Structure 1
Amino acid sequence: MGASGDHSKTGLAIIAGHGDLPRLLAEECQASGRKYAVVEFENIPLVWASTHPVIPTIFEKTGQLISQMQDADCLEIVIVGAMNRESIDPSKLDDKGRELAIILSETMKGGDDETLSSIIRFFETNGFRVRAAHDVLPSLIPQAGVLTNIKPSDDDIFDASRAAEIVTGLGRLDVGQGAVVGQGLCLGLESIQGTDTMLEFVKNNREGYAPNPTGGRGVLFKAPKPAQDFRVDLPTIGPDTIRNAHDAGLSGVAIDAGGVMVLRRSETVSLANDLELFLWVRPKE
């Protein structure tokens, strides 16, 4: 639930998982002078966090974390970066940790969307506002259009449209946010293992599935799920995505306009140009 006003006056806790996004948000807060702290879990060491204010914690000590964020005047939070489903040590749980563990035990069977929504509700009930990463760094979400020198061909546009239909179906089932289609054929589907694993699968298994040797080489398409809460788990791409798409033999990458974050955009676009791939921010149909 967004509130109006100047959020930069309110402290921000960056609840950090793996990947570049937590670091990019911390650097943005640091550069803008916004009060912030990085929440670093014991089993997710953040090498880059040494130059930032850090709140160290473990998953079981949720009550302690809430108090630490309140003491740091960080009443807004952003939850970013990949996090594995960790085993919980019941002997370490504090009261709030036990409360959250019970909630998660009930919602995790329903899929990621239900789990993440329950986490958002938990923090909101405890007095925090949950923000989206692009609230902090709006440039993460590019405007519609082709960002690269290479443009998608008619074959690529067709494949992207077919992939968009597939991703919408996947999203309704709360399965994944990406698919690869080449010459109308689905070559790969994203599931819990993530985009990079899907692209590795396509790389190793695409032979024999391109009936037209002069047709499209395939397109990676990513989009949010139809019922996605844009504050958490919004799909992202970055330089690694481009490199892996190239290694998988694809023509390019298409993303849903307004619903996918591009990390390190300048580097991502430059790499796509160097590898002669297109990067298309596809308008919603």
Structure 2
Amino acid sequence: MSRTAIIAGQGVLPGLLAEALDNPAVYAVEGFAPGIPARSFRYERLVPLLDQLAADGIGRVVFAGAVRRPRLDPEAFDPRTAALVPRVAAAMGRGDDALLRELIAIFEEWDLTVVGAEAIRPDLIAAAGVLAGSPSAADRADAARAAEILSVTGPLDIGQGCVVAGGLCLAIETLPGTAPMLDFVARTRAERRGGVLFKAPKPGQDRRIDLPAIGPETITQASAAGLSGIAWAAGGVLVLDGAAMVAAAEKAGLFLWARD
């Protein structure tokens, strides 16, 4: 039976997936150590990595963890990877979602089956319902407004989260991610408290890669930003360490709501 490889970035997700797999192979982008043992690789040598996966008996691949677009060294490319640069560069110009779709396509050309994290850990996807606290009518209205905003910005490949308070959008997630967005809210909002962080996949995105995620650290950041709670699209967001999240939310007085 073929093995599964985790193409890992930073954060706890690679480790959570590794725990659920029998003898996984873990490969990490150089500079983005996942916190578990992993072989490092560079984007400039993507084709040698693909050849190595085949040599290691890998049949299935899952992408997990956070990475940023690195600075590429033109002198580090091997000839076969260099041949892929035009198609990858064209995809980058169309946004992150297009780039990730192109990456999946390249892996599939090596007869590798790409799966999402939820295929390995379906328990990380929360069903619809309130996990902690109790969102008020105002909170529910803010979540609905946030979902409406993301339905417009998502197709533009802008982000997977936003913060709404009193019907007003305080921030939209962009390339830096959720933590910088919440830090911006914490530093710039007025004394008024309340509001909701809402996260959802981009409409039509390939859910095998870059599915939005929340974890215990999101609770800390949302609390520091003075928010009332966190809501997300049920079935579309990875909930990392749900028990710890619920405990942290109850301690901080925040609600957690998987919105249907």
**TM-score exceeds 0.5:** yes
Q: Considering only aligned residues, what root-mean-square deviation do their CA atoms show, in Å? A: 1.4
Residue 119 of structure 1 is matched in structure 2 by 103
Question: Displacement, 1:263?
Answer: 0.6
Pairs within 5 Å for 1:35-50:
35-49=23-37
Deviations along 1:197-219, whole A, 9 cap, x unmatched? 111111111106x5xxxxx7100
Please say if 1:265 is aligned against 2:221. Answer: no
Residue 173 of structure 2 is matched in structure 1 by 190
**Pair 96,127 (structure 1): closer, same or farther in 2 beyond 3 Å:** farther
Residue 16 of structure 2 is matched in structure 1 by 24
Code of the residue aligned with 2:167 in structure 1: it is G
Please say if 1:225 is aligned against 2:225. Answer: no
**Number of equivalent positions:** 260
Secondary structure of 1:176 counterpart: coil
Deviations along 1:44-70, whole A, 9 cap, x unmatched? 234422xxxx43322212222112111
Code of the residue aligned with 2:69 in structure 1: it is R
Of residues 164, 167, 184, the one that matches 2:150 is 167
Please say if 1:89 is aligned against 2:73. Answer: yes
**Pair 162,46 (structure 1): closer, same or farther in 2 beyond 3 Å:** closer
Q: Residues of 2 paired with 1:198 and 1:41: CA distance? A: 25
Q: Which runs of 5+ in 1 are unaligned?
A: 1-8, 211-215
Q: Show structure 1 runs of 4+ deviating over 4 A.
A: none
Which has the larger displacement, 239-248 or 39-48? 39-48
Q: Residues of 2 paired with 1:41 and 1:181: CA distance? A: 34
In the alignment, is the contact (CA less than 8 A) between 1:36 and 1:74 conserved in 2?
Answer: no
Question: Displacement, 1:94?
Answer: 1.9
Residue 11 of structure 1 is matched in structure 2 by 3
Q: Identity across aligned pairs (percent)?
A: 43
Q: Residues of 2 paired with 1:135 and 1:96: CA distance? A: 31
Question: Displacement, 1:91?
Answer: 2.1
Code of the residue aligned with 1:239 in structure 2: it is P
Secondary structure of 1:60 counterpart: helix
Q: Residues of 1 paired with 2:29 and 2:235: CA distance? A: 30
Question: Displacement, 1:80?
Answer: 1.5
Question: Displacement, 1:268?
Answer: 0.9
Of residues 36, 56, 71, the one that matches 2:55 is 71
Q: TM-score, normalised by structure 2?
A: 0.96
Code of the residue aligned with 1:48 in structure 2: it is I
Secondary structure of 1:259 counterpart: coil
Secondary structure of 2:5 counterpart: strand
Question: Displacement, 1:28?
Answer: 1.7
Deviations along 1:114-150, whole A, 9 cap, x unmatched? 11111111111121111001101111101100011x1
Q: Residues of 2 paired with 1:244 and 1:106: CA distance? A: 35
Question: Displacement, 1:101?
Answer: 2.5
